[in-house]
């Protein structure tokens, strides 16, 4: 027996328990597990209904426990911006985009800079004929931009697709939910940009992600990529 099944030492992995998982939830978790084992043996419809009822109740208990845990955690860290930032970062958990083969950001910048230069060189200079200024009609000029109303900004906020960019301070869906409370601040920023003709630098930044034009293309060929610019959700208001 020792030759066929020799004893071996296995180190137990330390599994981290969810912080919101209480002893009561651990005990309640056994009920749907026991119910599903009973249903698999009997295959009775009544046992299936019982299992689904217990599973639904346990899911609601888990959701309630998570809400209570993070609500208390946020209230405790309300005066500490660093702790709040860490909490939101752990909740959002943005996945890092996979890096394309061995290409770097500098490689893409060099490639597209040279591509733009080549395109500019293909344009031929058009011959210009001397004409008098009187032959040209007066070109209208735009001297100022109209400001926006709060109702218009609120409508745009709620109608936008709630896509979230890694540069967003909070998820776009959350921003839409609390937009009435932030409406005065958002309208002030937008109208300030329209009046002064200056857009804040933070709204000019984007996260550029290279994506293959087709899945079957060569990863090492830089010309096979298309660059996608991900702006902050609030940048849509400025645009």
pLDDT tens profile 138-163: 667 777 788 889 999 888 888 888 87
46 with 20: CB under 8 angstroms?
no
DSSP state of 97: P
Is residue 96 over pLDDT 70? no
Q: In angstroms, how far is the first alpha carbon of the chain from the final one?
A: 75
Contacts of 32-38 with C-beta under 8 Å, sequence gap 24+, read 32/58
Cα–Cα distance measured from residue 155 to residue 89, given in angstroms and rounded to the nearest whole number: 29
Separation of CA 181 from chain center: 22
Is residue 66 over pLDDT 80? yes
Q: In the prediction, which pLDDT does 90 show?
A: 77
Please state, in angstroms and as integers, the Cα–Cα distance from residue 209 to each residue in 9, 60, 235, following that order. 46, 38, 18
Cα–Cα distance measured from residue 138 to residue 63, given in angstroms and rounded to the nearest whole number: 66
Is residue 29 over pLDDT 90? no
DSSP state of 86: H
146 with 195: CB under 8 angstroms?
no
Q: In the prediction, which pLDDT does 163 show?
A: 78
Q: In the prediction, which pLDDT does 136 show?
A: 54
């Amino acid at each position: 027996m020792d030759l066929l099944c020799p004893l071996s030492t296995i180190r137990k992995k330390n599994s981290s328990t969810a912080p919101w998982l209480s002893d009561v939830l651990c005990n309640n978790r056994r009920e749907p597990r026991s119910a599903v084992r009973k249903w698999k043996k009997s295959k009775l419809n009544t046992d299936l209904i019982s299992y689904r009822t217990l599973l639904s109740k346990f899911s609601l208990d888990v959701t309630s426990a998570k809400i209570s845990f993070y609500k208390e955690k946020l209230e405790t860290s309300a005066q500490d911006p660093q702790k709040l930032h860490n909490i939101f970062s752990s909740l959002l958990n943005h996945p890092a985009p996979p890096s394309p083969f061995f290409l770097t950001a500098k490689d893409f910048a060099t490639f597209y800079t040279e591509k733009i230069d080549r395109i500019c060189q293909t344009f031929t200079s058009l011959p210009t004929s001397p004409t008098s200024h009187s032959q040209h009609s007066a070109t209208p000029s735009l001297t100022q931009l109209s400001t926006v109303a709060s109702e218009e900004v609120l409508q745009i906020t709620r109608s936008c697709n709630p896509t979230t960019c890694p540069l967003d301070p909070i998820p776009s869906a959350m921003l839409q939910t609390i937009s009435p409370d932030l409406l005065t601040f958002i309208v002030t920023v937008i109208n300030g940009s329209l009046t002064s003709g200056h857009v804040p630098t933070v709204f000019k930044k984007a996260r550029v992600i290279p994506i293959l034009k087709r899945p079957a293309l060569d990863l090492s060929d830089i010309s096979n990529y298309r660059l996608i610019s991900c702006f902050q959700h609030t940048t849509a208001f400025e645009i």
